[in-house]
Amino acid sequence: MTDTTTRFAPSPNGFLHLGHALSALTGFRAARDAGGRFLLRIEDIDLTRARPEFEQAIYDDLAWLGLTWETPVRRQSEHFDDYEAALARLDRLTYPCFCTRKDIEAEIARSPAAPHGPEGALYPGICRHLPEAERRRRFDAGEKYAVRLDVAKAMAIAGPLHWHDRLKGDIAADPASLGDVVLARKDIPTSYHLAVTVDDALQGVTLVTRGEDLFHATHIHRLLQALLDLPVPDYWHHGLIRDAAGIRLAKSKGAPALRDLRAAGMTAEEVRARADSA
Ligand code: GLU
């Protein structure tokens, strides 16, 4: 098969750790073994967190690991118009959400039966059925709003959906398990879910390789593909590298950066071996 296209899509808001190395290597090897293409995408929609030194470190770390990728690299912050166009197509299935994090937490605390999904409490729907006059009043008052997908409405249009995971087989999509996700944030005209789905299609990605921490996100991505008439890639949600205490490596939990491991004398060969044994 020569039409395999994979990608590694890091966010430049920290340095890469071993978990990223595993993701990048999985995508790179899958493309290489199939005689296909390996792409790199910089997921920097959150301009407040993205930093050029982190982006440069991504290139340095991947090159050190022996990876090569096609250029030019797609940088999401240069393509907000693509995400806005996709969002406009979903207009009748979305609604403005004026809630603050506090509003949402208070509502969840008030309703003990608030629905929960694999990633915690779901958005409790406060703004889903706001009367039009109320929406208008809040727009006019200049209140900031996010745009949420009305998942129930969207699923009614899309019908039952499936995707294929290379490790887990055929998966029935369950987008409702994530609730009315945000498609455009108050401060950013898109969201992870929308940008990643649009880009994987635009870049012709045929196999999405990423950690299983993002497995559930695929339920929503599959729904967005159906709503936007996008091709459906194959998925490979690989296992995660955990520390000695069994906790998955994460920037937020202080996982050692590849560049620090390198400075401490770890070789690229050792990193590749660590990824292989994960
Ligand atoms: N940008 C995401 C991250 O760094 C990964 C997105 C993906 O692979 O779908 O966690």
Query: Which ligand 1 atom sits nearest the alpha carbon of residue 200?
Result: 9
pLDDT of 15 reads 96
DSSP-derived secondary structure letter, 228 = T
Domain ranges of the chain: 1-78+241-278, 79-194
Rg (CA), the chain: 20
**3-state class (DSSP) for residue 173:** coil
Query: Which ligand 1 atom sits nearest the alpha carbon of residue 20?
Result: 4
pLDDT of 2 reads 52
Contact 235, 207 (CB under 8 A): yes
Domain 1-78+241-278 has CATH 1.20.1260.10: no
For ligand 1, is residue 219 a contact (CB within 6 Å)?
no
Percent of the chain topping pLDDT 90: 87
**Which residue ranges of the chain lie beneath pLDDT 50?**
1
pLDDT of 111 reads 86
Q: How far is CA 58 from CA 54, 67, 257, in A?
A: 6, 11, 11
Instruction: For ligand 1, atom 4, name the residue with the nearest CA.
Output: 10
Phi, psi of 250 (to 5 degrees): -155, 145
Starting at the earlier edge strand, list the strands of the sheet with 5-8. Answer: 5-8, 37-42, 74-75
Domain 79-194 has CATH 3.40.50.720: no
Strand partners, 148: 95, 182
CA separation for the pair 263, 239 (Å, rounded): 26
Q: What is the pTM of this model?
A: 0.95
**3-state class (DSSP) for residue 187:** coil
For ligand 1, is residue 196 a contact (CB within 6 Å)?
yes
Structure tokens belonging to residue 98:
């004026």
CA atoms within 13 A on the CB side of 57: 20
Structure tokens belonging to residue 23:
């993701």
Instruction: For ligand 1, atom 7, name the residue with the nearest CA.
Output: 9
